[in-house]
A and B are shown apart, each in its own frame.
Chain A
Amino acid sequence: MRVEYINPFVESAYNVLTEVLGGEVKRGNLFLKSATKPVLGVAAIVGLAGEVEGRVLFDMSKPTAIKIASVMNAEEMTVLDDLAKATISELANMITAQAVTKLHELGFKFDLTPPALITGDNMEVSDQEVEALIVPMETEHGSVEINVAVRERS
């Protein structure tokens, strides 16, 4: 997978997380995972289809998701309820929209699916024939992993 696909997602995740959380966000080191990867607990998934195809996963632990939703709603939340889930989906939406604008400017043409939120314990994600690049973003509420597995349509 080409690194230029993940950079726009990392940049826009940095921008959006900094803006909505108002604190410091640090970019961790990029790593590659070709085998099955466990999901942290709450994952928003957005599909890409077009000249570039695959999926982007915004992966975080449940406590991190609840804390981020609390900050974005300016109220203390204790459970991952419908509002918290809508908040994390919207976060994924905002990050993806910004990244896709950049990718479109670079000349890649594709459409997106609305984000789906997956929650649970001991989940794994398997990507066939395409490896995933992962960049963890460290926020003061915990880590949000940007997990991108896309390829050019053959």
Chain B
Amino acid sequence: MKSKGDFPSINDRPPEGSKPDGSPYRVLVVDDSMFVTKQIGQILTSEGFEVLAVAADGEEGLNKYKELYPNVDLVTLDITMPKMDGVTALEKIMEFDKNAKVVMISALGKQELVKKSLLLGAKNYIVKPLDRQKVLERIVNTLK
């Protein structure tokens, strides 16, 4: 009979969403698509991140960032949104907090806007369709 000790532990790796002190990284997700916010939320919470808040447009995202500051470790920001687009919201978030860590979420074909965002201070970007590996890789690298 095999005892537990016979199996190698595959779960030694700490979840990616934990800070060195064990508390979760806190993320603000800004996207006008309910599908995308849910998808990002699922990927992040499964790795131990905490989705602190969700906003459906740039204006709401900016307001939530200000409201939650300094408790937001990272923002995912969609580029195309109603009311205030992601690039404008990024600019305003960076004005408010020059150390903000923002990752842009973009559909293909928005290279110019992605470039502009990186120049404005976005730390990274992810092109849709989103997959788990791509999202985690970019976000974890940004937090390092």
B23 CB to nearest A CB, Å: 28
Q: Is the CB of A90 within 8 A of B109?
A: no
Within 101-154 of A, Cβ neighbours of B (below 8 Å) are at: 101, 104, 114
For the complex, is A72 an interface residue (Cβ under 8 Å from B)? yes
Bound-complex Cα distance A100 to B34 (A): 23
For the complex, is A61 an interface residue (Cβ under 8 Å from B)? no
Q: Is the CB of B38 within 8 A of A97?
A: no
For the complex, is A20 an interface residue (Cβ under 8 Å from B)? yes
Interface residues on B, range: 10 to 19
Contact mask for chain B residues 15-34; partner A; CB cutoff 8 A; 1 contact, 0 none: 00000000000000000011
Q: Is the CB of A86 within 8 A of B34?
A: yes
Q: Which residues of B contact A89 (CB under 8 A)?
A: 33, 35
Q: Is the CB of A90 within 8 A of B33?
A: yes
For the complex, is B128 an interface residue (Cβ under 8 Å from A)? yes
Bound-complex Cα distance A97 to B107 (A): 6
Query: Interface residue count for A (Cβ, 8 Å)?
Result: 20
Bound-complex Cα distance A124 to B39 (A): 33
CB-based nearest B residue for A15:
B129
Interface of A is mostly: helix
Q: Is the CB of B129 within 8 A of A19?
A: yes
Contact mask for chain A residues 70-108; partner B; CB cutoff 8 A; 1 contact, 0 none: 001110000000110011011001100110110010000
Q: Is the CB of A93 within 8 A of B107?
A: yes
Q: Is the CB of B108 within 8 A of A90?
A: no
Interface residue from A73, A98, A104 paired with B35 (Cβ < 8 Å): A73
What are 17 residue pairs bridging A and B, where the CB atoms are less than 8 Å apart in the complex?
A73-B38, A74-B42, A82-B34, A83-B34, A87-B35, A90-B33, A90-B36, A93-B33, A93-B107, A97-B107, A97-B110, A97-B128, A98-B108, A98-B109, A101-B108, A114-B80, A114-B82
Residues on B close to A: CB < 8 A?
33-36, 38-39, 42, 80, 82, 107-110, 128-129
Given A86-B36, A94-B107, A97-B107, 5 further pairs, Cβ under 8 A: A19-B129, A83-B35, A83-B38, A93-B107, A94-B128
Nearest first, the 7 closest Cβ-Cβ pairs linking A and B are A97-B107, A101-B109, A86-B34, A86-B35, A87-B35, A97-B108, A90-B35
Residues on A close to B: CB < 8 A?
16, 19-20, 72-74, 82-83, 86-87, 89-90, 93-94, 97-98, 100-101, 104, 114
